[in-house]
């Protein structure tokens, strides 16, 4: 959906959306295309790229804030769609736009327990189903999509996930939230008519916090690992707003050319945005074996996280 198409729905225009957010278009899933379906497509690509089969996966963690249904988990639905082994743990993580970074860390720690060898980590979102298509301050920002990664345990030192910080502050829950649709306030015909189930956001406040928390998270994980920002080949930030990326790059004193962005084509896809940007940077040949890569995210909760990793492609 292009900005022009959006301007037929709400009082907005291409110039405003591009200047304020950097977004030109976003992808909208079909009516019967759900996060488990998009997640399956992404996971099949990841399995192919890794030269693996569904039976090679020991663990599936799926990050989403737009599950197919309240229960069972979208991860279980995806397990069945992919034909993963019937005895492996599959579960969802709810950490909104930080979901992929949270899932990656939980998966890493489970691999480090020694009980699992390979984990499939998926971020998949159908934000078009929770956006208020009459609210121009939010509907222009979000899109649908999915990304997936496979991680495996290794005895090679100093590769893969080197460090990580995760955080949350539930005192700021109302800055990005949906008020209705859970057990506290189930849907009623009135709440649906009033679009109370839709995503609401205090954009200005979120913007300021996003810049501060993403910059601090990067600095903290770099300090934790004893690495300087100059040594990081690529920063893969949550794709929320081009101006947020510029500000974070500025705070870290890093050139924006080391912050790959797909915002112009996908908008904010929440938990899918980091794996989508990571895959694109890898496919374009930017990320190379041995590169230090820093993933950094921020989202509803509030939640945030940063992961420093050394990109390592095992020989097939």
Binding window for ligand UT7 (CB under 6 A); candidates: 59-67, 104-112, 237-245, 274-282: 237-245
Q: Which of 3, 164, 241, 268 is catalytic?
A: 268
| Whole-number Å distance between alpha carbons of 63 and 295 | 15
Q: Which of 90, 97, 139, 225 is catalytic?
A: 97
Shortest distance, CB of residue 236 to ligand UT7, whole angstroms? 15
| Whole-number Å distance between alpha carbons of 227 and 185 | 46
| Whole-number Å distance between alpha carbons of 298 and 65 | 13
3-state SS, residue 51 = coil
Paired with 152 in beta bridges are: 118
Q: How far is CA 67 from the centre of its chain?
A: 14
Q: Interface residues for ligand UT7 in 267-296 (CB under 6 A)?
A: 268
- Tell me which DSSP letter residue 71 carries: S
Is 262 a binding residue for ligand UT7 by CB under 6 A? The answer is no
Is 72 a binding residue for ligand UT7 by CB under 6 A? The answer is no
Cα torsion 253, 258, 264, 267: sign: negative
Q: Interface residues for ligand UT7 in 37-66 (CB under 6 A)?
A: none
Binding window for ligand UT7 (CB under 6 A); candidates: 13-21, 43-51, 75-83, 275-283: 13-21
Residue 312 falls in the annotated catalytic set:
no
Asked if 205 contacts 211 with a C-beta cutoff of 8 angstroms, the reply is no
- Find the binder of ligand UT7 among 18, 20, 265, 286 (CB under 6 A): 20
Closest residue to ligand UT7: CB criterion: 203
- Find the binder of ligand UT7 among 16, 160, 163, 312 (CB under 6 A): 16
Is 137 a binding residue for ligand UT7 by CB under 6 A? The answer is yes
Residue 178, C-beta contacts closer than 8 angstroms, at least 6 positions apart: 130, 197, 198, 199, 200
Cα torsion 242, 244, 247, 252: sign: negative
Nearer to ligand UT7, 56 or 135 (CB): 135
Residue 3 falls in the annotated catalytic set:
no
- Find the binder of ligand UT7 among 28, 42, 78, 97 (CB under 6 A): 97
Q: What are phi and psi of 145, to 5 degrees?
A: 170, 175
Residue 289 falls in the annotated catalytic set:
no
- Tell me which DSSP letter residue 43 carries: H
Shortest distance, CB of residue 252 to ligand UT7, whole angstroms? 17
3-state SS, residue 291 = coil
Q: C-alpha angle 217/127/104, rounded to 5°?
A: 40
Nearer to ligand UT7, 95 or 140 (CB): 140
Nearer to ligand UT7, 84 or 96 (CB): 96
Is 302 a binding residue for ligand UT7 by CB under 6 A? The answer is no
Is 208 a binding residue for ligand UT7 by CB under 6 A? The answer is no
Is 247 a binding residue for ligand UT7 by CB under 6 A? The answer is no
DSSP of 215-226, one letter per residue? HHHHHHHHHHHT
| Whole-number Å distance between alpha carbons of 61 and 151 | 11
Kindly list the catalytic residues.
Answer: 97, 238, 268
Interface residues with ligand UT7 (CB under 6 A) are 12, 16-17, 20-21, 97, 136-137, 140, 176, 203-204, 206-207, 210, 240-241, 244, 268, 298-299
């Amino acid at each position: 959906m292009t900005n022009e198409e959006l301007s037929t729905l709400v009082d907005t225009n291409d110039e405003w959306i591009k200047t304020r957010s950097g977004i030109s278009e976003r992808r909208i899933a079909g009516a019967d295309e759900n996060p488990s379906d998009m997640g399956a497509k992404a996971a099949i690509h990841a399995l192919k790229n890794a030269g693996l089969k569904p039976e090679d996966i020991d663990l599936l963690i799926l990050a989403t804030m737009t599950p197919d249904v309240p229960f069972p988990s979208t991860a279980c639905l995806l397990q069945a769609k992919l034909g993963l082994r019937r005895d492996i743990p599959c579960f969802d993580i709810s950490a909104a736009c930080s979901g992929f970074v949270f899932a990656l860390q939980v998966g890493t720690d489970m691999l480090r327990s020694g009980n699992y060898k390979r984990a499939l980590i998926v971020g998949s979102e159908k934000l078009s189903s929770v956006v208020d298509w009459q609210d121009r301050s939010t509907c222009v920002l979000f899109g649908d999509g999915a990304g997936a990664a496979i991680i495996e345990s290794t005895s090679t030192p100093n590769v893969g996930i080197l460090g990580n910080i995760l955080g949350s502050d539930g005192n700021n829950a109302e800055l990005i939230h949906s008020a209705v649709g859970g057990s506290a306030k189930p849907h009623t015909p009135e709440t649906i008519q009033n679009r109370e189930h839709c995503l609401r956001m205090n954009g200005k406040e979120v913007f300021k916090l996003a810049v501060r928390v993403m910059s601090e998270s990067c600095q903290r994980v770099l300090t934790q690992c004893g690495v300087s920002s100059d040594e990081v080949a690529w920063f893969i930030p949550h794709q929320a707003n081009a101006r947020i990326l510029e500000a974070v790059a500025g705070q870290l004193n890093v050139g924006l050319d080391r912050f790959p962005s797909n915002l112009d084509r996908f908008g904010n896809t929440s938990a899918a945005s980091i794996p989508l940007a990571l895959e694109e940077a890898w496919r374009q040949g930017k990320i190379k074996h041995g590169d230090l890569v820093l993933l950094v995210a921020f989202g509803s909760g509030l939640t945030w996280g940063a992961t420093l990793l050394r990109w390592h492609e095992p020989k097939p």
